[in-house]
Amino acid sequence: MKTALITGVTGQDGSYLAELLIQKGYEVHGMIRRSSSFNTSRIDHLYNDPNVLHSKLFLHYGDMTDSSNLNRILDRVKPDEIYNLAAQSHVKVSFEVPEYTAEVDGLGTLRILDAMKETQVGAKFYQASTSELFGKVQEVPQIETTPFYPRSPYAVAKLFSYWTVVNYREAYNLFACNGILFNHESPRRGGTFVTRKITQAVVRIMRGGQSTPIKLGNINSQRDWGYAPEYVEGMWRVLQSASPSDYLLATNETHTVREFIEQAFAYFGENIYWEGVDESEKGFLRSNSQLVVEIDPYYYRPTEVDLLVGDYSKAKRELGWEPKVKFDELVSIMVRADLENYENQNEKH
């Protein structure tokens, strides 16, 4: 039985990855942050499963800012594979807490890699790198060799981690890999990221639970959105490759935030029409002219990433990885899940 350690196990990706690895027969150890309130909602279903608890999933308190606990966890668990997913992962928030973001997303990675080197734990290491590294893009579509141009404290911290992984691989012969993952979403996506913010609000609006419009920032930015469960399977494949390397996972399609809004309303058979420009632009339902989208400059970023689209040919060729869920289906999956949640909650009340 293989043993895996997942940092960030309570996050969107960590929860899907824990599920996948348990299914594959791994013993999974997850690192969680100490919190005054419960922060395990995404893994509670695993934790409460008697087939899983006490035999396949073990949780350890820890924090990416604290070397001593990272060393201790590595020493106790002696994992075969480490998936470093823990991060302050919100790009806009990183402009507000840049130093903390660098501590967690940059130095945190160095802390684990250095502990691996010192303890000679011999694990394979996966780093959650990101399409945000491409930032102000130098090439379309982006591939593994496209030059980086980070545009946020988040991306700069992740760039530090990217190169630390490469350096520790070359200097100390560690099996350490970067997965350069483009945006991937799911019903477990945090509610402050744009996709989930839209799907939750669209459901409330269409079911009469919200009469005010959704307030959004830049709706013209373009993203390559995939489906998170497929991407965590890609993470696992990265660590099963014959030799350590860096891989880009994406769908090779790009869509605007505006299209995401239109597609989410289309789930309910509604069309949107737009009036005004820039901060004055507004979106209305074609059926009854209800105002449903407004621009709020609060959500603008000091520097934006305008266009991301990734060519995943290397992952397809070397790992046999290919995404199946594309944009329209992804939006449907997310809206359907939020609609079910909404209806379940309303039944209970």
- Does position 164 interact with ligand NAP (CB under 6 A)? The reply is no
- In the complex with ligand NAP, the residue whose CB is nearer, 207 or 237, is 237
Q: How far is CA 230 from CA 6, 24, 113, 204, 251, in A?
A: 17, 15, 26, 28, 11
- Which of 71, 94, 109, 130 lies at the binding interface for ligand NAP (CB under 6 A)? 130
- Which of 10, 15, 71, 89 lies at the binding interface for ligand F7E (CB under 6 A)? 89
- Does position 195 interact with ligand NAP (CB under 6 A)? The reply is no
- Which of 46, 57, 86, 309 lies at the binding interface for ligand NAP (CB under 6 A)? 86
What does the angle CA 39 – CA 129 – CA 164 come to, to the nearest 5 degrees?
110
- Which of 78, 197, 204, 314 lies at the binding interface for ligand F7E (CB under 6 A)? 197
**Span from 51-59, 87-95, 170-178, 269-277 in contact with ligand NAP (CB under 6 A):** 87-95
Distance of CA 322 to the CA centre of its chain: 18
- CA gap 8, 64 in Å, rounded: 9
- Does position 216 interact with ligand F7E (CB under 6 A)? The reply is yes
The yes-or-no answer on residue 300 being catalytic is no
The residue written with tokens 């969107």 in the block is 12
The yes-or-no answer on residue 154 being catalytic is yes
- In the complex with ligand F7E, the residue whose CB is nearer, 79 or 217, is 217
The yes-or-no answer on residue 130 being catalytic is yes
Taking the complex as a whole, the smallest distance from the CB of residue 7 to ligand NAP amounts, in Å, to 6
- In the complex with ligand NAP, the residue whose CB is nearer, 89 or 152, is 89
Residues that bind ligand NAP (CB under 6 A): 7-8, 10-14, 33, 35, 39, 63-65, 85-89, 104, 128, 130, 181, 183-184, 190
